[in-house]
Every structure is written in structure tokens, then in C-alpha cells.
Homo-oligomer: A and B are copies of this chain.
Amino acid sequence: MSGAGLAVAELIRRIAQSTGGSLSANLRGADCRVERTAPLSTAGATDLAFLANSRYRAQAAASAAGAIVLSEKDAAALFGDAAARCALVECSEPYAWFAFAAQLLAPVETLVPAIDPRAQVAAAAQVHSQARIDVGAVIDDGAQIDSNVWIGAGCFVGRDCRIGAGTRLYPGVCLMAGTVLGERCIVHSGAVLGADGFGFAPFQGRWIKIPQTGRVLVGNDVEIGANTTIDRGAMGDTVIEDGVKMDNQIQIGHNCRIGAHSVLAGCVGIAGSAVVGRGVQLGGAAMVLGHLSIADGAVISSGTLVSRTITEAGFYTGFFPLMKNRDWERNAAVLRSLEELRNRVRALESEQRGRQERKDPT
């Protein structure tokens, strides 16, 4: 599982190489071997820590970490020309460098290809010889499982699903018929992709179900959190583009499109047919109404309801500020008649204007 660690200089070399030279770093001080990552406050001699926010400089100064990745500016501010106690990795993007380093240091679970005898793989499913299907998983007719896919215990992969190379389903994931997942995706336990969208027509006081015949199409490098749900399209498909990262407990309605490299924090809900642009950031529990669109790069605060289309990037917010309950009761009472308060201000202004006109009847 775990490696014996890596020299910091070796980490620098490997990350530069894997990023085609675009993430270089400079080692300052003696090289050392690090075995894992740790926060500045608890790191020890064989740990790599990071400083990405100058507010934590004091923690970095006091840290017992074996190596710290940080910006040149923070390094200079903290240590000047003096030698630091530990190895310093100077890098223009310390947090990204740290992420790559953490991947290199993390224990690797090697995928041993095998189909567990207690999994049930339909005769008409195609499972790559280098895939792994764990106990209790069900792979239905027509499903295609590519190499290095790992299907966890008790997963359900419905008819005609396709799962791209290197994708991992943790235990208890359900992919309903026709769902397509790209390569190197990660789907956490309890996620359900491809359940019916919520489509009903009212008729004589009851609701007539509209069969949901579209699919869920997920691109490459997408991560989907635990117990998240993504509904199949009503007629067309629901589409999650490359590189999207979704946290837990998210709900994506039918026929949504989530643009590439957007990030959705926990408990987000997106109603049907909404179009979220590329590189959008949705804070926790943000909600998006149906049939809207959100411009590329927009950032939505936690707890905000997006009730209209957002046509340009920017930072948007809409939650009620926290108050002591007594203050809330008083302020909320006024809020309930805010328009009336505005009208009273208007009346005062009008009276004032009248007075000024009387004084100054030009």
C-alpha cells in the first residue's frame, strides 16, 4: 500500500516532468525524504506541508515539517536569506504543487484485475480483462467495462452502460441503463446516475408520468460524491462535461448540462434543463432553478438560490445573513413590509421636495 517516501528533489523532478515543465519548483536547503503530507501544525520530520495563504505564515515558521512548499514571497518573508530548519520548495503555485506531491506520496491501491465469483456479470456484457469487479456487483446486458475499471462491491451497472478506462466506482454505486462514464472518473458510494428525471403532466388533478428516455453522459476525469444523484434526460441527455468535480448529496435534474471543470460543493441542487457554464463554482447548498443558464466562470456563494440566468462571470450571493434570533425577528418583521417602508420614505421625500419648492419657487 504505502511507499517508503520520496526525496523532495525527486518530487520536484517528477512533477515538473508530469506537467510538461509547467509546474517547476526550486529546492532551498538540504534535500530530505518525505513519506506523507501533513498540516503545518502537526507535521513532523518526514512530512511535507504547504503554505498557500500568507495568513498562516506563523504556523509555517513554527512548523516541524521536514519540507514546506510555499511561494518565493512567503519564503523570503519567513526566512530571508537565512537557512530554514526544513527543506523549502519554492513554487509559484504551491497548492497545486502540493496536490501533485500528495498524489505521488499517497498509498496506491493496486488494481488486481478479477471478476469476483459472487459478482453477477451478464453474458452479453463486455468486461475488459484488466478490469476488476468486486463481490455482489451486478453488470447487466450490453454493459461495456474498459481496462483498469474498478467496480466496487454491490454496485449496479445497468443495461448498455459504458465505463471508460481507469474509472472507479466505490461500493454501492448505481448506474441505471444507458449511463456513460468517461475515463479516470471516480464515483463515490451511494451515488445514483440515470434514475428517472422528474417529469409529469397535470391532468384532472393527478400527474401523468412522462417516460424518461434520455441518458446520463459523463466525460473524463469527473468526480462524483457520495449519495449524489444525476437524473437521466427526459428525451435528450443529461451531460456532465470533462473535469467536473461534484461533492456529496448533490442533485442534478434531467437534461442539465454542467460545463467542463466546474466545481459543485456539497448539497447543491440543479433543477431540470439548467445549463451551467465551464469553470463555474457553486458553493455548498447553492440551488439553481430549471431552464436557466450560468455564464462560464461565475462563482455562486453557498446557500444562494439562482433564480435567473447569469449572463456574465462574477461573484453572486443571495443568502439571509445570520443574526441573533431576537434581531432576526425584528428585522424580518420589517422585511415583511419593506415595500411599505420604501413608500413611507417616498412620501417623506415628496413632502420635502414640496417644502423646498415652496421656499424656492423659481
A residues touching B (Cβ–Cβ < 8 Å)?
A: 19, 22-23, 36-39, 42, 93, 95-96, 98-100, 102-103, 105-107, 118, 120, 134-136, 138, 152-154, 156, 158, 170-172, 174, 176, 186, 188-190, 192, 195-196, 198, 200-211, 213, 221, 223, 225-227, 229, 231, 235-236, 243, 245, 247-249, 251, 253, 261, 263, 265-267, 269, 271, 279, 284-285, 287, 289, 301-308, 310, 314-339, 341-342, 344-345, 348-349, 351-352
Contact = CB atoms under 8 A, between A and B. Distances in A.
Contacts of A332: 321
Contacts of A172: 154, 156, 172, 174, 192
B207 A261 contact: yes
- Most B C-beta atoms less than 10 A away, residue of A103, A153, A352: A153
A351 B349 CA distance: 10
B338 A331 contact: yes
A305 B321 CA distance: 7
B138 A99 contact: no
B328 A323 contact: no
B201 A98 contact: yes
A271 to B, nearest CB: 5
Contacts of A221: 206
28 contacts: A37-B213, A93-B201, A96-B202, A102-B213, A103-B211, A106-B211, A118-B120, A134-B138, A156-B171, A158-B171, A170-B195, A174-B190, A188-B196, A189-B195, A200-B245, A200-B263, A227-B227, A251-B266, A251-B284, A266-B269, A266-B271, A315-B324, A316-B328, A317-B328, A318-B321, A327-B336, A331-B336, A331-B338
Given A120-B136, A285-B285, 5 more contacts: A156-B171, A206-B243, A229-B249, A284-B289, A334-B339
- Most B C-beta atoms less than 10 A away, residue of A106, A221, A310, A321: A321
Nearest to A196: B188
B235 A37 contact: yes
A85 to B, nearest CB: 20
Contacts of A192: 172, 188-190, 226-227, 248
| Number of copies of this protein chain within its complex | 3
A349 B347 CA distance: 9
Contacts of A202: 95-96
Contacts of A329: 317
Nearest to A330: B339
A176 B189 contact: yes
B318 A328 contact: yes
A267 B223 CA distance: 21
Interface pairs A-B: 10 shortest CB-CB: A106-B211, A99-B201, A96-B203, A317-B328, A195-B226, A303-B305, A99-B208, A315-B325, A318-B322, A330-B339
B344 A349 contact: yes
A270 to B, nearest CB: 9
Contact of A319 (B211, B305, B342): B305
